[in-house]
Structure 1
Amino acid sequence: MTDSVQMDPETLSSIDRRFAFHPFTALGEHMRSGPPMMITSGKGCRLQDDQGRGYIDAMAGLWCVNLGYGREDLAATMKEQAEDLAYWHAFSSMGSDKPALLARRLIELAPAGMSKVFFGNSGSDANDTQIKLVWYYNNVRGLPKKKKIIARERGYHGVTIMTGGVTGLPGLHAGFDLPLPFVKHTTAPRRLWEGQGLSDAEFTARLADDLERLIEREGPDTIGAMIMEPIMGAGGVIDPPEGYYQAIGEILRRHDILIIADEVICAFGRLGAMFGSEMVGLEPDLITVAKGLTSAYFPLSGCIVSEKVWEVLVEGGERYGVFGHGYTYSSHPIGAAVGLRNLELIDEHAMLETVADRGAYLQKRLRAAFSDHPMVGEVRGQALIGAVEYVRAKDPAVAFDPALKVAPRIISAALRRGVISRALPNADTTSFSPPFTISEAEIDEVVAAMRDAVDEVMTELIRAGEFE
């Protein structure tokens, strides 16, 4: 019975439509139309659906399958660890071998000053944990008012009640009564819309001034931390102007505000280095990792805590007793084993060098294909992360009416050509974050398909009188 269901693509689709509750999905539309495809297998950068159609995944899933699909080495690691020790917990000082070894490896790789690693399951729960650590840290220090969290408009940090509010995208707030009152957002370093006509120095000064005024308005004695992605991912693949993190960091240090680096996308090679913070001049007190830690072969996240913060957390035990936070699957041995092997493979196969090389090629091809396109306002990115943003007019940039759904239409047109990209929220932007194993020929295939898709949608818009 099960085999016959799996072999029937129509039945698979209808089962999904009837029973599966999909995240980040237009629920009514899904009930009417079902999934665009049902993926059943993958190898390298390519996926196959239940009807035998093939695709290049230009997004590595959700920015996460960094070493590609179908890796027998990572699958073997999971099998071996499950046979040796499928599960053990970390409560009440309990330990197991692989989480301890992975924690040591992460501290060896992390920026200077980091001390301990707390393991969770996802980027969302890790960022939620980071904020609880900030609150605990300031309570121990006798500063109970320092609880507000600053984030940036368009930043993406997760979907818990806390992290959904910290995320600066309105779609994650609508209907959920978010953000909570102690979350404050400052200007995103989005040059196309916020910094037109400004030099890097002028734009950085403006962004720093916006942050300074927010802190002064709220009161520095009420603000515990600011959370930032080295390069903003889901919010648009936004890389800030030269000197930005140095200017922001100086303000935060002066006001005794902790810095949380959300490295869920950027860490472990996406930018050609183990940590994106080191590439952009961000000096964090806390670092969040997930996604590329296991190349998404197993759910695992980490909160990397500096010695400065750790010393205060330990002191807190004298006042509050046992540290009252953790998850059933914290320090999961299978996840830790996969993380260790994943990091070994990055080193063994010189993946950082590969990313630098293929990343330079991707950026070159994206700019050659789109920089002068009449419908493109900006091409952004570094190494193996990129984005193209579409506008109705340039100089100055004018956005399309959101009702036209320009980026989603481009994504659908690309999908028909066998390429998977993503339409990012609250802007007509398509993104690229392929597995590190992508070849130059596959990059050419991706860019050509996306260019054809953009041209197709542009022709439709011209015919409809929505673009000239």
Structure 2
Amino acid sequence: MVHTPVTHPDATTQQISKADKRHTLHPWADLATAPTDGDLVISEGEGYHVCDSDGKRYIDGIAGMWCVNIGYGNTEMAEAMARQAEKLVYYTPFGAMTNPLSAELARVLAGLTPGDLNRVQFTNSGSAAVDSAIRFVHFYFSALGKPEKKHIISRLESYHGSSYLTASLSGKQVDRTYFHYMDDIIHHISAPNPYRRDPGLSLEAYCQSLFDEFEAKIDELGPENIACFIAEPIMGSGGVLVPPPGYHKGMKALCEKYDILYILDEVVTGFGRLGHFFSAEPVWEITPDLITCAKGITSGYQPMGAVIISDRLFNQISGENAPDEAYFTNGYTYSGHPIACAAALKNIEIMQRDKICEHVQEVGPYFLEKLKTLEQYEIIGEVRGNHLMACVECNISGNPVAAEDKDITAARTVDAFCDQAGLIVRPYEALLILSPPLIIDKEGIDQLVAIMAASIEKATEKLRKEELLTA
């Protein structure tokens, strides 16, 4: 019997799935079912649609993984990467070596970030960008003679990556399984989740309670021991948790008061998802000390990330101010990879030329307005988000504090009906998370919301038959 390679156009879904199940360990795989369950094999994409290996077409409601911002099948991107591959596929970035595209991309990024964030270290992913940001902060304080400033404050329900360090920084309890996590220098405070706040608290009072908790944690640890606070502008995979007004400004002020650096993790929100290349200044009115980014930097066409650092910090530990043996021994073989840089530069060019951020500013409010109509259904607790970043939370238990098993079942049931109808959403616990490609238009938004509404109606009927939902 001749085996058909899974890359062959005549390979069947069964053949592809069999090879995948036998040989691939996927991120976030359910190990109980990984050896046996079938896969959804995504084989093609165009615009804001993808197709599976059986030819079924879906609206991609999650942009791959928050990242395919300019959409699938962009020939300009493919051509830019191919041209660079022919010219220079790779050379080492270590020491004083560089390539023209890496230097140009660093210059362009410095022009897009607020304040004096002008120093860029390139990485291969968002996880590596956050890892590098923390390593820079530790190096910085040690170089200034303050090695005791090494503790990090993060937040529950946060997600900052899946390396050993960044998984320890992340605060999603459901993700903490049989791995080991650092717990000596990493500390978590509450996530800003207005939906789950005490019903008697105003937004202003709730926000103040978060400030008070942060300041209490600083007092507990001692500000002389704390290096940094890290925060996603909007907590992405933790449930699209939008902070109350003034949250980031208040947290930044406390960091400045206690000499704590502020890392804004824009891996998800960067490159247009909130209608701006970076949301720090135009949305949250802050200039952080460091910004991390990835995902949308190349719109998923190449793996890439970056940490962008304040000149103020860098200048204190470089040149005349450099400590003895001041080698910054952190980086990656593929930092500033020429093909990835070519993809990022072309991606930014396309976004600026086609006014993608302006498009998001126009359709983002429409997206949320249409999604908000889903709150009419009894199994939906809240719809929340900002521009093209949204979450539909199921709540049939009526529990105001936390999701219960029946809420999680409701979300999974809606997700299954969405999949059948040709819409990919991202289920997490009781949440249905949405982040479509930034090029989605109002027609696509109408289709997406119509599928969700029909799926919620079917799920409601099914849940009632199963007596998980009572009249």
TM bin (shorter chain): over 0.9
Report the Cα offset of residue 317 of structure 1. 4.2
Query: Greater share of helix residues, 1 or 2?
Result: 1
Structure 1 residue 193 corresponds to structure 2 residue 196? yes
Contact 2:228–2:263, Cα closer than 8 Å, also in 1 = yes
- Percent same amino acid among aligned pairs? 35
Q: Counterpart in 1 of 2:110?
A: 107
Equivalent of residue 436 in structure 2, options 434, 443, 452 = 434
Contact 2:143–2:323, Cα closer than 8 Å, also in 1 = no
Structure 1 residue 229 corresponds to structure 2 residue 210? no
Contact 1:391–1:398, Cα closer than 8 Å, also in 2 = no
Contact 1:41–1:48, Cα closer than 8 Å, also in 2 = yes
> TM-score when scaled to structure 1?
0.96
Q: Counterpart in 1 of 2:340?
A: 335
Structure 1 residue 326 corresponds to structure 2 residue 331? yes
Structure 1 residue 269 corresponds to structure 2 residue 269? no
Specify whether residues 4 and 363 from structure 1 end up closer, same or farther in structure 2 by C-alpha distance, changes over 3 A only.
closer
Which residues of 2 match residues 61-460 of structure 1 at below 5 A?
Answer: 61-278=64-281, 279-314=283-318, 317-368=322-373, 370-394=374-398, 396=400, 399-401=403-405, 405-424=409-428, 427-460=429-462
Contact 1:151–1:228, Cα closer than 8 Å, also in 2 = yes
Contact 2:408–2:430, Cα closer than 8 Å, also in 1 = no
Report the Cα offset of residue 461 of structure 1. 2.0
Q: Counterpart in 1 of 2:16?
A: 12
CA deviation map 1:190-218 (0-9, x unaligned) = 01213433222111100000111111111
Specify whether residues 319 and 51 from structure 1 end up closer, same or farther in structure 2 by C-alpha distance, changes over 3 A only.
same
State the SS of the aligned residue for 1:158: coil
Report the Cα offset of residue 456 of structure 1. 2.0
> TM-score when scaled to structure 2?
0.95
Report the Cα offset of residue 30 of structure 1. 2.4
Question: 2-side partners of 1:232 and 1:116: how far apart?
Answer: 25
Report the Cα offset of residue 220 of structure 1. 1.1
Report the Cα offset of residue 351 of structure 1. 0.6
Question: 2-side partners of 1:155 and 1:102: how far apart?
Answer: 29
Contact 1:128–1:162, Cα closer than 8 Å, also in 2 = yes
Contact 2:407–2:430, Cα closer than 8 Å, also in 1 = no
Q: Which consecutive residues of structure 1, in runs of 5 or more, have no partner in the other structure? A: none
Q: Deviating runs (4+, > 6 A) in structure 1?
A: none
Corresponding letter in the other structure for 1:153: L
**Matched positions, count:** 464
Contact 2:67–2:296, Cα closer than 8 Å, also in 1 = yes
Question: 1-side partners of 2:10 and 2:328: how far apart?
Answer: 46
Specify whether residues 403 and 19 from structure 1 end up closer, same or farther in structure 2 by C-alpha distance, changes over 3 A only.
farther
CA deviation map 1:49-99 (0-9, x unaligned) = 111111110100000000000000000000001011111121120011001
Q: Counterpart in 1 of 2:31?
A: 27
Question: 1-side partners of 2:469 and 2:260: how far apart?
Answer: 46
Question: 1-side partners of 2:175 and 2:142: how far apart?
Answer: 29
Q: Which consecutive residues of structure 2, in runs of 5 or more, have no partner in the other structure? A: none
